[in-house]
Amino acid sequence: MLSRKENTYITEIGPGTPMGNLFRRYWLPALMAEELPEADCPPVRLKLLGEDLVAFRTTSGRPAVLDTWCPHRNANLFWGRNEEDGLRCVYHGWKFDADGACVDMPNEPPRSRFAEKIRQPAYQAVERGGVIWVYMGPPDLSPAIPELEWTLVPPSQRSVSKRIQECNWLQNLEGEVDSSHANFLHAQLGPDRRPVRNDERDEDLHPVFSILETDYGLAICARRDAGTDKYYWRITPFMLPSYTIIPGTYGGSYTFTGAVPRDDTSMIGITATWNLEHDIPQRPFVEVDANYNSLQNKRNDYLIDREAQKTVSFTGIRGVRVQDMAVQEDQRGPISDRTTEHLGASDTGVIATRRRLLAQAQALHKGTEPSQPHDPQAYRLRSMAVVADRSVPWQELMAEHMHIPTTLTMSS
Ligand code: FES
Ligand SMILES: [Fe+2]
Binned at pLDDT 50, 70 and 90, residue 57 comes out as very high
Query: What's the gap in Å between 137 CA and the centre of ligand 1?
Result: 26
Average pLDDT over residues 354-380: 97
Query: What's the gap in Å between 240 CA and the centre of ligand 2?
Result: 19
pTM recorded for the entire structure: 0.95
Atom 3 (ligand 1) nearest CA: 92
Pairing label, strands 195-196, 188-189: antiparallel
pLDDT the model gives residue 206: 80
Query: What's the gap in Å between 101 CA and the centre of ligand 1?
Result: 14
Binned at pLDDT 50, 70 and 90, residue 202 comes out as low
Average pLDDT over residues 192-211: 76
pLDDT the model gives residue 180: 85
Distance between CA atoms of residues 211 and 237, nearest Å:
10
Atom 4 (ligand 1) nearest CA: 92
pLDDT digits (tens, 9 = 90+) for 64-74: 999 999 999 99
Q: What angle do CA 60, 66, 67 make, to 5 degrees?
A: 165
Q: Does the pLDDT of residue 409 top 70, yes or no? A: no
Three-state SS letters, 169-222:
HHHHHHHHCCHHHHHHHCCEECCCCCEECCCHHHHCCCCEEEEEECCCEEEEEE
Probe target for ligand 1 pocket from 54, 72, 79, 105, with the most ligand atoms within 8 Å of CB: 72
Q: Does the pLDDT of residue 392 top 80, yes or no? A: yes
pLDDT digits (tens, 9 = 90+) for 218-270: 999 999 898 899 999 999 999 999 999 998 777 889 999 999 999 999 999 99
Binned at pLDDT 50, 70 and 90, residue 412 comes out as very low
Q: Compare 200 and 361 and report the one with higher pLDDT.
A: 361
